Amino acid sequence: MLRRQFFALPGLLAARNAEPRPNIALLLTDDQCADTIHALGNPHIHTPNMDRLARSGFVFRNAYCLGSNIPAVCLPSRNMLLSGRAYFRYQRYASGSDPNLADALRDAGYVTWHYGKRGNEAVEIHKRFDYSHYLNDEQDRTCGEPGREIVDRTIEFLRARPKDRPFFLYLAFANPHDPRVAAPHYLARYDAARLPLPRNYLPVHPFDNGEMLVRDELLAPWPRTPEEIRRHLRDYYAVITGLDYHLGRLFGAMEELGLFGNTLFVFSSDNGLALGSHGLMGKQSLYEHSMKVPLILTGPGIRKGSSDALVYLMDLFPTLVDLVGAPIPPGLDGVSLKPILTGRSPKVRDTLFTAYRDVQRAIRDERWKLIVYPRINRKQLFDLKNDPEETRDLAGDPRYASIIERLTNRLRQWQQRFSDSVPLISERPADPTFKPPSPEEYQQLRRKWKM
C-alpha cells in the first residue's frame, strides 16, 4: 500500500532543517522467548546474526509485554508497541488517528516501510505507513524458510527507496509462532534428545489459571512428556535459526548498500512462550517465560552494555522518537528509555504491572513478583533474585506477608492508573482444580479450534 500524501509539510521542513538522522530498523518476531539467543546465555541455540546485534549493542534484560485482554496476546502487544499506550485505552485496535510511531517518524522526515504478518496486528496504524504489505501467515510459517519473504521484499525496497530521506523499517515477522516448520538444514543443527528441558518444566500446571484449554495449550497433550517438550523445543529452535539466517541476508544487503553502519537496529518480540514451563505451552500466563521478551538496541549513538531496568515494549515508541531528536507526543503510557541508554539514569520505573484478561494480574519490583488469580482467590510470590524460574511459591509463608501487602497496594495503584476495574478478590471463588481432558476430549477440543 502506498499512501497518496507522502509527507506532511511540517515533517518535510523539519527533516530538511535537522541534522542527518540514522535509519531505523525495528525487527519484531512472533512468540520468541527472552532466553532464545545464544549471546544472551543460551548455549543450545544457533543465532549468529541475533548474536551480532546483542554483542554490539545494549541489552534490556527485563523487557516485557504488558499483557492482553484476549488469548491472542500478540494483537494487544503490537498495538501497544506502535501506539505507546496500554491496551486498556482502546477497544481492540489502537486508532491510527492518535499518536503513533509511524506518524511520528514520518513527520520527522522518515520514509516508513512496514512488512509483516497479517493476523492479530495493529491494522489501523499500519495504514499510516508510507508503504505497508502483509504476508500470507500460514504460507510463511510452513515454507521452511521463516522470514525469507519479508527479507526479500525489504531488500528490494532498500535498493529502490527514495535516497534523500532516512528510512524506518518495521519488519513484523510471523515466526517462531506455530506451526513451526524449518527446512532440514536448520533442523539438522538440533538433536531433540540432547536438548535440556526448561528448569521449571512440569507435566501439568498445578491449578486452573483461568485459561487452561485455550488453543495454544492444545499443542501438546497432557501430561506434557519430556520427549514431547524436547520435540517442540527442537522445532522452535530450528525456526529461530532459520529466521536468523534470513536476518543475516538482510544485514549483508544493507552492508553492500552502505546502510548498515548508519542504521539503528531494534530487535524484540511481541511476547514469550511456555513450551513446557510450569506445565504450560502458550503465552496466556504472567510467568516470566510468557511476558518477558528479548530487547536489543544497537547502532549510531548506542553504547554497548546491558540493564536490568524494568521496561515495556510500549516504551519503544517514545524511545525511538527521542533518540532521533523528534518530539515525544503527550499522553503516552510508554516512557523514553534514552536516560538508561545514555547512562543518565539506571531505571525509568520502580515496579512493573502485567495483566491477562480478567483472570490474572501481576506486579514485580527489582526482586519480588506477585501474581494474583482473582477468580480462584490464589496468589503466588516469587523471589526472582534467587528463583528466576519461579519454581518456589512463597505466598503461603507468613514471613512474606508484608511483602505481599506492599506489592498488592502497588498493584492496585497500577490498576487505578489504567482504569482496570478487575477485583483482586472474588466473593464466590471458582474451583482451582484443573483436570486435564481425556484423550477423546483433547481431540474434540483440537477440532473445535480447527487444529
- 264 domain-assigned: yes
Asked, for residue 1, whether it belongs to a domain, the answer is no
Asked if 90 and 197 sit in the same domain, the reply is yes
Q: What is the pLDDT of residue 19?
A: 58
Percent of the chain at pLDDT exceeding 90: 95
Q: Domain boundary residue among 333, 349, 365?
A: 349
Quick one: 345 and 410 in the same domain? no
* Any domain includes 146: yes
Question: E strand or H helix at 58, and its extent?
Answer: strand 58-60
Burial code (b: 16+ CB inside 10 Å, e: under 16) for 270-300 equals bbbbbbbbbbbbbbbbbbbbbbbbbbbbbbe
Check whether residue 316 and residue 361 sit in a common domain. Answer: no
Q: Can you give the pLDDT at residue 167? A: 98
Measured between alpha carbons, how far is 244 from 148 in angstroms, rounded to an integer?
Answer: 10
Give the tens place of pLDDT for each residue, 148-171. Answer: 999 999 999 999 999 999 999 999
pLDDT-above-70 percentage for the chain = 96
Q: pLDDT-based confidence at 254, cuts 50/70/90?
A: very high
In a domain, 3, yes or no: no
| The pLDDT of residue 11 | 35
Same domain (yes/no): 319, 366: no
Is the pLDDT assigned to residue 18 strictly greater than 90?
A: no
pLDDT at 35 over 70: yes
Mean predicted confidence (pLDDT) in 70-84: 98
Q: What is the pLDDT of residue 203?
A: 98
Residues 428 and 375 in one domain: yes
Using one digit for the tens of pLDDT, what is the confidence trace for 38-69?
999 999 999 999 999 999 999 999 999 999 99
Does the residue 2 lie in any domain?
no
Domains of the chain: total: 2
Q: What would the pLDDT profile of 268-284 be if each residue is shown by its tens digit?
A: 999 999 999 999 999 99
The identity of residue 46, as a single letter, is H
Q: The pTM is what?
A: 0.95
What pLDDT was estimated at residue 248?
98
The answer to the question of residue 159 being in a domain is yes
Tell whether 387 and 439 lie within a shared domain.
yes
The reply to whether 290 and 401 lie within a common domain is no
Round to whole Å and give the CA distance between 169 and 160. Answer: 14
Tens digits of residue pLDDT in 387-411: 999 999 999 999 999 999 999 999 9
In a shared domain, residues 319 and 401: no
Of 349, 375, 400, the residue that ends a domain is 349
Same domain, 64 and 136: yes
What does the pLDDT read at residue 20? 78
Average pLDDT of the chain?
Answer: 95
* pLDDT, tens only, 236-248: 999 999 999 999 9
The answer on 372 and 259 residing in a single domain is no
Q: What is the pLDDT of residues 407-444, one digit of tens each?
A: 999 999 999 999 999 999 999 999 999 999 999 999 99
Q: Is residue 441 part of a domain?
A: yes
Q: Which residue range is the domain that position 371 belongs to?
A: 353-448
In a domain, 4, yes or no: no
Residue 219 confidence (pLDDT) above 60 = yes
Q: Which of 28, 45, 31 is nearest to 237 (CA)?
A: 45
Q: Which of 290, 315, 349 represents a domain boundary (last residue)?
A: 349
- The DSSP code for 104 is H
Residues 297 and 371 in one domain: no
Same domain, 282 and 412: no
CATH number at residue 388: 3.30.1120.10
Write down the residue that cell numbers 497496594 correspond to.
409
